Amino acid sequence: MTPNEIGFAILYIGVFLLIGKIIRVYSTLLQNLFLPSSIIGGFIALLLGPQVFGKFMPEDSTFSNGVMTDSIIEVWSALPGLMINVVFAALFLGATIPKLKDIWSYAGPQLALGWSIGWGQYVIGLMVAVLVLVPFFDLPAMSGALIEVAFEGGHGTAAGMASTFEELGFPEAFDLAIGLATIGVLSGVIFGIILINWGVRNKKTKVIKDVEGFSNLRKRGVMEYQNREPAGKMTLRPESIEPLSFHLSIVMIAILLGWLILQGLVQLEAATLGSDFMEYIPLFPLAMMGGIILQIFFSKKDKYNLVDRRMINRIQGLALDILILSAIATVSLEVIGEYLVPFLILAAAGIAWNLFGFLVLAPRFIPKFWFERGIGDFGQSMGVTATGLLLMRVVDPDNESPAFEAFGYKQLFYEPFLGGGFVTALSVPFIAQFGPWPSLILAAAMTAVGILSGLFYFGKKESG
């Protein structure tokens, strides 16, 4: 493959991102679903690619691969695994780390809820795998991790686990996880809006008394004129270094630190234990650790506040758009079709558990503003943190409850472990090496910790 082919494949991403955005602007249905342009563009690329449009063309015709070429598909297939490292390296860069007391006070109930839902997805998934998927569909026990990987982790984590699935002999899991993540995003918005309407009618919400909806501009994904702010601060003078270049360099260094940590762990394990467990761990959780190390350094040594969180967010957002579009565009429809029944079983089980977590656990864990705070965790548990933030904005448009603050604090402790953190990264190799039953026992124990602390500690306190 030539550099020109790689460059052209990247240019093609811009075309489909823009197509996705244009469709979002003019489609009322997609506006009401709040679907990101990257998801829309990814589906359009999938439809116009070799798996759909190309199937209707003669094999020797110009469009036998649809509007794609083999090199575009090859490049796009590799992009999700690369971009997820950028997304996770940027998670904590430029973020202020609050005092532990504040985190505990505001985020404790939120963390108990997220912890219970996240670990519970492993419990539900492993039970489905042991009782149904393994004996009746001959799937490996690793399939029990797909709910958490796809729903809590989302498209990014699902893509980041691709190499792990492949090395462990279950490459089809990537396509299933991407499909589940897409189901999660759609279900998160649809069920979220239904729950909000139910909550308003039954007086479960404390802030809003009716659902007014968003402005037309907001639904189209256009920032209102009065709310437009700079995408980032110019913390350095461009004649010395372009600020975007500086922030991108910081993200790159975080990924490099993560790679060095991973290589060190692999070598240490080989020298001490003689095993190869760490070789199956993907890079992205270590890239996140590299970002945390850099942020601690900047917090102590950077007296000029050079790292701007908004600029980091733009880099992270770009990487996530590329990741989602390329992952959906290259997902194997053949694999999903082959495993359609297991796919639907996992999706139904995951959605049912998340609804249980919100409707049953949230009001018992969170003494005040349970609906406003719990809906954010429900949205996140369906695959995208942005969905949780969107749903919280609907029920608390003027930030009158502690929902946003508590949710943000919770992320500082939650993200390193579940939803794409170390637990997510280790779960699949752990199940492969030790089997489903030890994994199920561990997941059940951790779920019990979250539920018991939520019911008998946080649920009895006047938090937030």
Q: pLDDT tens digits for 296-327?
A: 999 999 888 899 999 998 998 899 899 889 98
The beta-strand segments (E) located in 49-106 are none
pLDDT tens digit string along 321-349?
998 899 888 888 888 888 899 999 999 99
Domain ends where: 266, 282, 301? 301
Taking 80 as the threshold, does the pLDDT of residue 464 lie above it? no
Q: Is the dihedral of CA 230, 231, 236, 240 positive or negative?
A: negative
Residue 178 lies in a domain: yes
Closest CA to 88 of 244, 291, 265: 291
At 146, list the tokens: 């797909």
- Is the same domain home to 272 and 339? no
Q: What is the four-CA torsion angle of 408, 414, 419, 421, rounded to 10 degrees? A: 120
- Is the same domain home to 256 and 404? no
Q: What is the four-CA torsion angle of 324, 335, 172, 185, rounded to 10 degrees? A: 30
Taking 70 as the threshold, does the pLDDT of residue 377 lie above it? yes
pLDDT tens digit string along 251-269?
999 999 999 999 999 999 8
Residue 144 lies in a domain: yes
Residue 223 lies in a domain: no
Residue 230 lies in a domain: no
Cα(287)–Cα(257) distance, rounded to whole angstroms? 7
Taking 80 as the threshold, does the pLDDT of residue 372 lie above it? yes
- Is the same domain home to 135 and 21? yes
* CA-to-CA separations, 270 to 257, 261, 262, 295, 422, in angstroms, rounded: 20, 14, 12, 30, 20
Q: Determine the Cα angle at 334 with ends 331 and 336, to 5°.
A: 70
Contact 42, 329 (CB under 8 A): yes
Closest CA to 345 of 188, 176, 185: 176
Taking 80 as the threshold, does the pLDDT of residue 405 lie above it? no
Q: Could you tell me what percent of the chain has a pLDDT over 70? A: 94
Q: Tell me which of 159 and 50 has the higher pLDDT.
A: 50
Q: Tell me which of 360 and 55 has the higher pLDDT.
A: 360
**Mean pLDDT confidence for 240-254:** 96
Q: Residue 35's pLDDT is what?
A: 77
Q: Tell me which of 118 and 224 has the higher pLDDT.
A: 118
Residue 187 lies in a domain: yes
Domain ends where: 269, 301, 333? 301
Domain ends where: 301, 319, 344? 301
At 197, list the tokens: 């309407």
- Is the same domain home to 144 and 251? no
Residue 239 lies in a domain: no
Q: How many domains is the chain built from?
A: 2
- Is the same domain home to 296 and 331? no
- Is the same domain home to 293 and 328? no
Task: Tally the C-alpha atoms within 13 A of residue 173's C-alpha that lie toward its C-beta.
Answer: 28
Q: For the chain, what is the radius of gyration of the CA atoms? A: 22
- Is the same domain home to 199 and 96? yes
pLDDT tens digit string along 121-131?
999 999 999 99
pLDDT tens digit string along 33-47?
777 888 899 999 999
- Is the same domain home to 340 and 417? yes
**Mean pLDDT confidence for 19-29:** 91
Cα(437)–Cα(147) distance, rounded to whole angstroms? 17
Q: Determine the Cα angle at 58 with ends 52 and 62, to 5°.
A: 85
CA 163 centroid distance within chain: 17
- Is the same domain home to 173 and 316? yes
**Mean pLDDT confidence for 206-222:** 68
Phi, psi for 274 (deg, rounded to 5): 70, 20
Q: Residue 218's pLDDT is what?
A: 65
Contact 137, 342 (CB under 8 A): yes
Residue 101 lies in a domain: yes
Question: In terms of C-beta density within 10 A (0-12 exposed, 13-18 middle, 19 or more buried), how is residue 360 classed?
Answer: exposed
Domain that includes residue 292, residue range: 246-301
At 256, list the tokens: 């490099």
- Is the same domain home to 339 and 446? yes
Least confident piece of the model among 138-147, 372-381, 454-463: 454-463
pLDDT tens digit string along 71-97?
999 999 889 888 989 988 988 898 776
Taking 50 as the threshold, does the pLDDT of residue 442 lie above it? yes
Q: Is the dihedral of CA 168, 171, 175, 176 positive or negative?
A: negative
- Is the same domain home to 44 and 170? yes
Contact 81, 159 (CB under 8 A): yes
Residue 229 lies in a domain: no
- Is the same domain home to 319 and 273? no
Contact 122, 432 (CB under 8 A): no
- Cite the DSSP H helix spans in 129-241: 134-137, 146-147, 154-160, 162-167, 172-201, 216-220
Taking 70 as the threshold, does the pLDDT of residue 98 lie above it? no
Report the Cα–Cα distance between both ends of the chain, in Å, rounded. 56
Residue with tokens 């958490």: 148
Contact 437, 126 (CB under 8 A): no
Q: How many CB atoms lie within 10 A of CB 23?
A: 16
